[in-house]
Each structure stands twice: as C-alpha cells, then as structure tokens.
Amino acid sequence: MSTTRPRTLADLGVGTGVGAFSGAFGVGGGIMLVPFLVLARRMPQKQAQATSLVMVAMAATAGAVRYALNGDVAWLAGGFIAIGGLAGAWLGAHLVQRSPGAVLQALFGGLVIVAGLRMLWTSGTPDPTTSDVADLSVLLTLGYALAGVGMGLLSALFGIGGGILLVPVLVGLFGYTQHLAAGTSLAVMVPIALVGAIRLTRPGLTQWAQGARFGAGAIVGALIGASLALLVSGGVVRMAFGVLMLIVGGRMAWDAWRARREGGH
C-alpha cells in the first residue's frame, strides 16, 4: 500500500506532463511516454508501446475537444484519414507481435528524428487550395486515406498516436496551419489508438490500468497544453516541436544502438 500510492501519483504527474506535450503539438504523447517507460521504468518495448496507446486515446480526446472549440479540426478530411488509420492500426498491431523489440526501438528513434527534421524544414505556410478541406477531390481524398494508413501503422508499431507523421504531412503537403493540423491529428488518433490498444490486449501487451492512470493525468495536461498552444504563434510551436523530436529520437536511437552493441559482446 505504501508503494502503490506514490506510484499512482507519479503516473498521474507523468501523464499530466505528457498530456501537455500532446495537446500543445497535436501528437498522442507516445513519443514521450514510451521512452519514459522503457528507460525509467524498464518496461519491455512492446508492452510500453501497447500501454502508451491507452494514454494516447485519453489525451487525444481532451486535446481534440479544446481545438474543436476553437474551430481547428478539419472533420471531413479527418474522416477519411481515420478510415485509413483504422486499417493501418489493425495491420500494425499484427506486425508488432512479430518484430524484435530492439529493432522497433531503433526504428522508433530514427522515425522521430526524420519527423523532427521535416518540421524544422517546412515553412508551415498554408496553401489555400489544399487547406480548404470543404472541397475534396478524389486524389485529395486518397491522399488523406494513405496518410491515415501510415498514421495507423506507426500508432500500433510504435505505441504513438501517429501525430509525428500526420502533423508534418498536413502542414508540409496539405498546407494546413500548425493549429489546424494539430487539432485534426488529435481528433483522428482517438479511434486509431483505441484499436491498437484493444488489438494488443489479447497477447497480454496492453496494461490498461497503468495506461489509464497516465491517461487521467494526460486529460488535464492536454487541455492545458492545447490552450497554451492556441495562444502562441503556430511557427513557434512548430519549431519547438521539431527540436524536441530530435532530442527524443536521438536518445531512443542511441539507447537501442548501445543495447545492441553491449548484447553483441
């Protein structure tokens, strides 16, 4: 009993911090929680990824509501992204059970680095012909669905919401503003993260109770983070997002490389 309460409070505190990150940048927060669980809590990579999805779904719900109240969710486009995302999440949950944990960790780190560089590279200037999501062509609809497939795959494979892929894609390729991309990303990742978490429950990877503790704190943090982000220039948020992803991705890739090197001797 004496150790349970401090651990619960710690989980709520970590969840609040991760949720603030989630709401501010339009990502699920898995890119922060998964490294914490693996490096600090020594949780196996696959279990950390699956458990993270529970928190992701809860944080994304709170953040999406806040952005929606500000009119920064593209619901029509998000519907097509979600359709592709659900298919990708189902496939990714099947693949993660057959992939080595160390390989997933290394790929995770590399992916975050690439996404961070992309966020720093793009200007984030909206293109009126693509950001007007009320008029969807067949090609544009297909593009949204494919982006959703990639988002869903990443969500299940790496225990993240997939926002680190979707936000840069919406900003760089579809001409969304940072705030609109963040809000749309959060709305879409709610069902995607839930599908991944449920799919990984049967093999015993998803720890729902612990994920819910992180999620309870993340709901509060996401509301705070989203509210603060909406008060700050989208360009500033985007640059901060890119830098933070480089730091997190570098740490994860380095840790995976070191573990593999030590295991080889």
pTM, two decimals, is: 0.78
- Give the tokens for residue 81: 């992204």
- The domain segmentation of the chain, as residue ranges, is 4-263
Both structure tokens of 195:
């599908």
Q: Looking at residue 135, what is its pLDDT? A: 60
Given phi > 0 = left and psi -120 to 50 = alpha, else beta, which region is 207? beta
Per-residue pLDDT for 14 more than 70?
Answer: yes
What are residue 245's phi and psi, to 5 degrees? Answer: -65, -35
Please report the pLDDT score of residue 239 as a whole number.
Answer: 81
At 232-265, the pLDDT tens digits run: 877 777 788 778 778 877 876 777 777 667 665 4
Percent residues over pLDDT 90 in the chain: 38
pLDDT of residue 91: 85
Q: What 3-state DSSP class applies to 177? A: coil
How many Å apart are CA 113 and CA 118, to the nearest integer? Answer: 9
Structural element, H or E, at residue 103:
helix 101-121
Q: Which band of pLDDT confidence, cut at 50, 70 and 90, is reported for residue 127?
A: very low
Average pLDDT, the chain: 83
Q: What pLDDT does residue 262 have?
A: 66
Q: What is the DSSP string of 197-243?
A: HHHTTTTT---HHHHHHHHHHHHHHHHHHHHHHTTS-HHHHHHHHHH
pLDDT in tens, 156-204: 777 777 887 788 789 888 889 889 999 999 999 999 889 889 988 988 9
